[in-house]
Amino acid sequence: MATTDRHARLALLTGPSGVGKGTLVTRLLARHPQLWLSVSATTRAPREGEQDGIHYFFHSRDSFEALVRAGGLLEWAEFAGNCYGTPRQPVMQRLQSGTSVLLEIELEGARQVRQSFPEALQIFLAPPSVEELEHRIRGRGTESEVSIQKRLERARTELAAQGEFDAVVVNDDLETALSELERLMRLTNA
């Protein structure tokens, strides 16, 4: 495996839907522009306004499968008929240039990264309680009852796996959780 700058680090963040990953990642990137958020590859068609290499790396099914066969993805999965994954090459290029990289991925992807890149810092973002998580999901006002129940069922499975991670950050207070992520990732305002 290629060596990376001793200050560059691969960190991944996972946790159940509704826990606040997106909000924390947005704030983390605003405070630490030196951090690079990995861009995923997908076989789904671009949506209006999405640009290749910025929002996703868009691939045909054949080219995505070729990436999988060549070991070109740190992790990948199929959801709703489309494939999604983290391309290895851009992550390695950033690390080798001294840039720390953040992956925001699902539990199964985190488990795959653990196998292919065991030195990555794995952080699990947890809600203060399942009840609070349900409150947050319902508060969005965008989900059907069936969808809410599926998300909560999946969340219970994900929460049961938090012991697999290097660290668990409870997102009870946004600023406290953000500070804890910064400490774990050894980020400083440069």
pLDDT reported for residue 190: 45
| Closest to 126 measured CA to CA, from 166, 164, 158, 102 | 158
pLDDT reported for residue 120: 94
| Residue 101: pLDDT over 90 | yes
The 10s digit of each residue's pLDDT in 48-70 is: 999 999 889 999 999 999 999 99
3-state secondary structure at position 104: strand
| Closest to 22 measured CA to CA, from 98, 81, 104, 97 | 104
The 10s digit of each residue's pLDDT in 14-54 is: 999 889 999 999 999 999 999 999 999 999 999 999 999 98
* Alpha carbon distance 79, 70 (integer Å): 21
Q: In sequence order, what DSSP letters do the residues of 21-77 get, joined into one string?
A: HHHHHHHHHHH-TTSEEPPPEESSPPPTT--BTTTBEE--HHHHHHHHHTT-EEEEE
**Residue ranges with strand state E in 65-162:** 73-79, 82-87, 101-104, 121-126
Domains with residue ranges and CATH for the chain: 10-184 (3.40.50.300)
Cβ-based neighbours of 80, under 8 Å, separated by 6 or more = none
To which residue do tokens 């495996």 refer? Answer: 1
**pTM of the predicted protein model:** 0.86
% residues pLDDT > 70 (the chain):
95
